[in-house]
């Protein structure tokens, strides 16, 4: 959540950023409305404080007054003051509630180093890594490979769950499971601590990581109870420390988690939705970090490197993309994507997003730390980061399409063979 203090002290700068860097006039209008409410809140607070000071002075005077008649008159006057205070407090509570609702709708401010651009067409390709695979035949898309090998069943997936569901079976299911286990092991070696969180969370958790209120229509929820299916492991893992004050020596905290992810992506049927690229349910290994504010920029670079290591060991060609301001996520102040090339569909597929949120999520979830050892030190908000390490099933797509052979088989990447009982080929 945007700090109301920043909006109050630097209104022109914030409005300019929304209009000229994020190209979000609606956010600028919301920010102006929030400024007006903040002014109203401070006016009400000042008036209420004056009356409370008056009440406190009168209470002392009543305590010293010996004359019963004068004392009764003072007490009567106090009744009207108490009524006025109650009125101001009620207005103040309503105004603060309205202000919080507006602040929850304001996107994070981009880091100054983020390039300005209106859409994904202006994202910056930082670098390309890995050697593209060469073929002496026309590479097939993953849906043809999977069906011919009998490892993906789209028809039965639709039969039991509907469009954009599929069944992985045999070596297909084993490949995905092997990838998840191996990815987690790689991240454990990088210094992460594994957690296995629930796949359902309370509504408050989604406000904490900024999926709510803006993206409510993309979430699946229980119709009767306060449960939402997680859109990413970022949600439960970040909220592990909600409403807590961490000690300085606990930071940085680095977690890795596997979860299924559930999203109501509303897309028209067509080429972009064919196969396994976009589903309502998919698996993902996620890295989440909690760091001191001064360390978050370097932490983002480390997080990106940790995600890249997966692609390097799989020997897949990929590229690093820096998001421009117009393509940043709602909560991120800086973001990089990793895209892997898949020759069968002849396109770059996003398999990881690595984001620095600054204190945006921590302010919502009230995740703080104590900078010093003195318990009297004022707690500060941590900075949070997260990155996919990596997302399935697009990593499966990239393996099937890059490692496909002329005879229709798929060669298993070397690092995965111990996780697949030594299997070298899927035939």
**Nearest residue to 377 (alpha-carbon basis) of 389, 385, 369, 365:** 369
**Residues acting as catalytic residues:** 263, 278, 350, 353, 394
Contact 346, 124 (CB under 8 A): no
Contact 89, 48 (CB under 8 A): yes
List the structure tokens of 298: 């370097």
Q: Exposed, middle or buried by CB within 10 Å (0-12, 13-18, 19+), for 127? A: exposed
**Nearest residue to 352 (alpha-carbon basis) of 198, 232, 181:** 232
CB count, 10 Å around CB of 338? 26
Distance of alpha carbon 104 from alpha carbon 210, whole angstroms = 8
Phi, psi of 9 (to 5 degrees): -85, -25
Q: Exposed, middle or buried by CB within 10 Å (0-12, 13-18, 19+), for 199? A: middle
Angle in degrees, 0-180, between the axes of helices 171-189 and 296-314, rounded to the nearest 10: 140
Contact 105, 331 (CB under 8 A): no
Q: In the chain, how long is the greatest CA-to-CA distance?
A: 107
Distance of alpha carbon 338 from alpha carbon 385, whole angstroms = 16
């Amino acid at each position: 959540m945007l700090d109301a203090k920043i909006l109050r002290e630097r209104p022109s700068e914030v409005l300019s950023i929304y209009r000229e860097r994020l190209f979000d006039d609606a956010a600028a209008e919301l920010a102006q409305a929030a400024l007006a409410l903040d002014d109203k809140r401070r006016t009400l607070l000042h008036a209420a404080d004056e009356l409370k000071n008056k009440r406190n002075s009168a209470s002392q005077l009543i305590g010293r007054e010996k004359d019963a008649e004068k004392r009764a008159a003072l007490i009567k006057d106090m009744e009207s003051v108490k009524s006025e205070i109650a009125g101001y407090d009620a207005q103040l509570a309503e105004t603060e509630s309205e202000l919080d609702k507006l602040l929850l709708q304001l996107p994070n401010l981009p880091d100054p180093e983020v390039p300005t651009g209106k859409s994904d067409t202006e994202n910056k390709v930082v670098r390309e890594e890995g050697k593209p695979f060469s073929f002496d035949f026309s590479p097939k898309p993953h849906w043809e490979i999977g069906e011919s090998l009998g490892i993906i069943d789209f028809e039965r997936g639709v039969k039991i769950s509907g469009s954009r569901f599929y069944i992985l079976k045999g070596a297909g299911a084993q490949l995905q499971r092997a990838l998840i286990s191996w990815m987690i092991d790689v991240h454990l070696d990088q210094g992460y601590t594994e957690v296995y969180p629930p796949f359902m969370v309370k509504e408050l958790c989604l406000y904490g990581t900024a999926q709510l209120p803006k993206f409510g229509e993309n979430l699946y929820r229980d119709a009767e109870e306060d449960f939402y299916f997680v859109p990413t492991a970022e949600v439960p893992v970040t909220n592990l420390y909600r409403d807590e004050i961490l000690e300085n020596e606990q930071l940085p905290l680095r977690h890795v988690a596997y979860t299924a992810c559930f999203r109501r992506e509303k897309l028209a049927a067509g080429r972009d939705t064919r196969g396994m690229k976009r589903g309502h349910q998919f698996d993902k290994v996620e890295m989440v970090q909690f760091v001191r504010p001064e360390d978050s920029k370097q932490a983002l670079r480390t997080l990106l490197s940790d995600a890249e290591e997966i692609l390097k060991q799989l020997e897949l060609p990929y590229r690093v993309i820096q998001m421009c301001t117009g393509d940043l996520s709602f909560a991120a102040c800086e973001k990089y994507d990793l895209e892997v090339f898949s020759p069968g569909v002849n396109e770059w597929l996003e398999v990881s997003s690595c984001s620095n949120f600054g204190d945006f999520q921590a302010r919502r979830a009230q995740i703080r730390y104590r900078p010093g050892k003195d318990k009297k030190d004022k707690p500060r908000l941590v900075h949070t980061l997260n990155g996919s390490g990596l997302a399935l099933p697009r990593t499966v797509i990239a393996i099937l399409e890059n490692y496909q052979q002329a005879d229709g088989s798929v060669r298993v990447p070397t690092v995965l063979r111990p996780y697949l009982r030594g299997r070298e080929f899927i035939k």
